[in-house]
Structure 1
Amino acid sequence: MQEQTVALSKEQIRALPVFQNLHPENILVIRTLEQCREIQDELNQVKILGFDTESKPTFKVGEKSTGPHLIQLASHDKAYLFQVSTEILGFLKPILENERQLKVGFGLKNDTSGFRRQGIEPKSLIELSKSFSSFGYTSQVGVQTAVALLFQRYFAKSKKISTSNWAVKYLSSKQIAYAAADAYAALLIFDHLYTQQLLTPQLQQQISRILDDSVSRT
């Protein structure tokens, strides 16, 4: 299926109705291993996860990031925000390295470099930013533009929130909403691209094989 359109301007995007994020009660902030264990079974049942990370920004030349400090996973019903610790990374490692569980998102190359420093090699990552050539976009597309193209909704992106301190012990309500929306929107975008066959044929086939394999093993 092919769709063609002209590039949307920032003004056109801002004029759209606001994107509907998950309700706050469906956004879980995970700080302890005990909380991880409480959601382990439901996470294991999800075959496709919206995926993103956040890190405390670096401002000095040559300063290296110590992130990720927050890892976001989303199903169609919930977003799980994991505040990173050694224990939580240990819990997430089998999920991130599970070849039969898709992790979909934007800008995943930057995310994976941080995990490799922690001894984690994420598998079955689906990068969505390069999947909009049928809409007339030859370069990478961000989540805000993708939401506008596919759903005719305005996905607000606050630079103040994106560059805030993600390593704090207690996230603000704005940080929580922002982080959850990134992972949740990525999942919805993937659903649309995949079901409408707007991904490359090679990627469509790769995803189908993974999902078929997941079903056959359940």
Structure 2
Amino acid sequence: MLLRAAARRAPRRTQQRTFVVAARKQPQQARAYSSPKPPHLTSKTLPRGRIGFVNGIRQLQKSLLNGFDQRPTLSELLPPDASITDVDKEHIKNLPRFDAAEDAEVLLCASETGFDLGVKRLRKALQSGDSSLTLHGKELHCLGFDTERTPTFRLGQPEQPVACLQLASHDLVVLFLLKNMRHIPASLQDLLEDPGVLKVGVALSEDTNALSRHAPGLTVRGLVDLAPLAEARFPSLTRRGLRGLVASLGGRRLSKHQSTASWGQRTYTPAMIRYAANDALAGLFCFGRILGHDREDERKVA
């Protein structure tokens, strides 16, 4: 069943719509996956920059060039722009906060039934063009992609499993609470393995490696890492983390105050929910800016 969770009204802001998807727990058996386990890529086996290039630029280029008779290079599709430069770290503190989650619908999915509903809502958003971008006549279906897990602070301490997986269109963010699940339901696996849906974010190899440990056999496809893409598009940028990209490309400050939160805890605070939603939305926001799309301007024209 679908339960509406009340959210506090922030002053002079639109009330954020947050829903919690829950269902009666039923005994489930772990699903058997037939696809092989992907290799665990680390800096010892492949340089981090190379991993980003393979998972980001090459995947995006494949998606863009599918259907072109004369296949242009990535530099022809996205010519370099040296006018975009880094925002000083001290100046970032004074920028207006990036808070796209206040205008988005947020779903928290905590059961297999909830996961199925969340995936259905995302598929519907993709079909309606909520997060579609057009580049050189090619329509791209995109979702912001991110994960959250409790960080480790001691050397040699085992890494914590993924607690929350976020997927976002512009107007909908779904938080899949993997901490409540022993396996990833088929509906979510199919979406993650769908190469026709681009999953955009930063440092995606870390997220996918963590997900593969949670669900052996899962191979996330359609990944676009924004860091190497931004490096090719804006060669003057040196800070290509998500916070740096939001500042340089959008003039906004992405809060990281909840990055060290305990994501394995039973319930999430409103601040944690907003943080997780904004992280996924920020990836989609930066991807649009890299491709030359300004959603705010498009809304004004509409």
Fold match (TM-score > 0.5): yes
SS, match of residue 220 in structure 2: coil
Structure 2 partner of 1:178: 275
* Change in CA separation of 1:114 and 1:89 when aligned onto 2, cut-off 3 Å: farther
One-letter code aligned to 2:229: S
* Offset from partner CA, 1:22-56 (integer Å, 9 cap, x none): 22771111111122222333222423110000112
SS, match of residue 118 in structure 2: helix
Identical residues among aligned pairs (%): 30
Structure 1 partner of 2:161: 67
CA distance in 2, matches of 1:95, 1:6: 35
Structure 1 partner of 2:225: 127
CA distance in 2, matches of 1:48, 1:25: 16
One-letter code aligned to 2:107: L
* CA RMSD of superposed structures (Å): 2.0
- Segment drifting more, 181-190 vs 31-40: 31-40
Q: Does 1:108 align with 2:108?
A: no
* Change in CA separation of 1:56 and 1:96 when aligned onto 2, cut-off 3 Å: same
Q: Does 1:56 align with 2:150?
A: yes
Picking from 79, 90, 93, the partner of 2:173 is 79
Q: Does 1:8 align with 2:87?
A: yes
Higher relative contact order (CA 8 A, sep 6+): 1
Structure 2 partner of 1:201: none
Q: Which runs of 5+ in 1 are unaligned?
A: 197-218
Give 1 or 2 for the bigger CA radius of gyration: 2
Q: Which runs of 5+ in 2 are unaligned?
A: 1-78, 127-140, 294-302
Picking from 109, 123, 127, the partner of 1:44 is 123
- Contact kept in structure 1, 2:239 and 2:245, CA below 8 Å: no
Structure 1 partner of 2:112: 33
- Segment drifting more, 19-28 vs 109-118: 19-28
SS, match of residue 256 in structure 2: coil
Which one has a larger percent helix, Structure 1 or Structure 2?
1
Q: What TM-score does the superposition give when structure 1 sets the normalisation length? A: 0.80
SS, match of residue 131 in structure 1: helix
